[in-house]
Amino acid sequence: MAIQAPEGTRDLLPDEALFWEHFKDTAAEVFRRYGYVLIDTPLIEQTELFVRGIGVATDVVSKEMFAALSGENLKRLLTGEKVKSKSRLSLRPEGTAGVVRAVVEHNLVPQGAAPAKLMYAGPMFRAERPQKGRQRQFSQIGVECLGAEAPSIDAEAIIMLMRFYEEVGIPAASMELLVNSMGCEKCRPAYRDLVRSYLEEHADALCETCMTRAEINPLRAFDCKKEGCAAVMEGAPKITDHLCDDCRQHYADVLTLLDGAGVAYTEDPTLVRGLDYYTRTVFEVQASDGLGSQNAIGGGGRYDKLAEEVGGRPTPGLGFALGYERCMLVLEAAGVELPRAQRCDLFVACVDDSVRAQAFGLVQACRDAGVVCEMDHQGRSLKSQFKLADKLGAARVAVLGPDELAEGACTLRDMGTHEEARVKLEDVPEEMHRVFL
């Protein structure tokens, strides 16, 4: 049997690869307006980074990480030898931990400096059970802002995310922005204890996973999709009733700024997100059509303690990531037309083989002038060359035959209007340039 792509991965075929480029360009264009610049970190990091950064009790770290082993270390592992902690590597399940590691390692936010505003795009890996909108390799576009804790940073990033969705064509009516505050290290421990006691009181009605969670991370019970658990969690204490004064003020300021910008949102006190690094603001954008249960097309929040977790100085941070594949599914469901594959400005057609060398030269001259240009390489008849030009969506066809060549010219045909004109060969690149570039 022919070898197929691994489960939970997809090939981006040319049409879609082109859209991925367009998607990234649009994000870069929007995020640049807010001062974000590109960063690119490795796809593999020390496993310890994710354990410390994301949290050992999260599903992402405890169940979904792909380990990456060199041949040498695999052999060591198989023979029962120890692999040094530094050599234990994992494929990144998300981008935040790696970016924060890079910021700390390269001291990108020295004391008193302006915040570092960083954006990235690329593949992430999670060994989840594949289903619609859930893959094992997926692409994220994300931003991280380190070095500022003002609520305006949170609001600005949320506004920017919503602007991006709009610009890429996701209709406002097909998504909902949910926001919440997770509190800080001052107010969250007491709240966590409250939820733990609540879970213990309702142990009979909760699933086993939620009860295991009660011990390690009780807040994750808010994410349980089981009906019985969801019903119990509706009555659970809400974090927004237990925030300290500073967190309450920070959250209120974020909401005021969103109101001022006319961004619609729903406050959801049960939104806890699946990564342990969050403090204060968290948010998620959920799509209403096209995705079923995997409906989060983006999410993020503040993580004021993460830099310290990975060994750096206290550095507040905030960011988000959006999932490319899920956005594609929403765009498809909304019937949004995606840009077509490579355009073709000019197709050079040969009447017979005697003009091939000149046609080849004309194609090169046009390409050198920036024109997207193609010709036949399979000895097709003139008729099937026209068919090919049509298939490629060529805007013009230059017909070159012995008669034209005798005049040092070609017949340039406009494929839209069917108008034809004789044009000197040396003038073709300039003529094409005039019309298309």
Residue numbers of the site for ligand HAM (CB under 6 A)? Answer: 94-96, 126, 128, 133-135, 138, 140, 142, 144, 274-275, 296-301, 319-323, 325-326
Residue 138 or 165 having the CB closest to ligand HAM? 138
Residue 307 or 394 having the CB closest to ligand HAM? 307
Residue 55 or 429 having the CB closest to ligand HAM? 55
Residues with Cβ within 8 Å of residue 57, at least 6 apart in sequence: 216, 217, 220, 276
Closest separation in Å from C-beta 415 to ligand HAM: 40
Rounded to an integer, what distance in angstroms lies between the CA atom of residue 48 and that of residue 310?
9
Are the C-beta atoms of residues 262 and 159 closer than 8 Å to each other? Answer: no
Rounded to an integer, what distance in angstroms lies between the CA atom of residue 114 and that of residue 258?
23
What does the block give as tokens for 162?
């919503």
Closest separation in Å from C-beta 126 to ligand HAM: 5
Side-chain half-sphere exposure of 3, counting CA atoms within 13 A: 2
Closest separation in Å from C-beta 86 to ligand HAM: 23
Q: Which residues, in sequence order, are bridge partners of residue 120?
A: 142
Residue 89 or 297 having the CB closest to ligand HAM? 297
- Of 294, 287, 365, 374, whose CA–CA distance to 333 is shortest? 287
Closest separation in Å from C-beta 326 to ligand HAM: 4
Strand order in the sheet with 409-414: 373-375, 346-350, 396-400, 409-414, 420-424
Residue least distant from ligand HAM (Cβ): 323
Rounded to an integer, what distance in angstroms lies between the CA atom of residue 407 and that of residue 400?
11
Are the C-beta atoms of residues 188 and 278 closer than 8 Å to each other? Answer: no
Residue 164 or 347 having the CB closest to ligand HAM? 164
Residue 115 or 299 having the CB closest to ligand HAM? 299
Closest separation in Å from C-beta 271 to ligand HAM: 11
Closest separation in Å from C-beta 285 to ligand HAM: 7
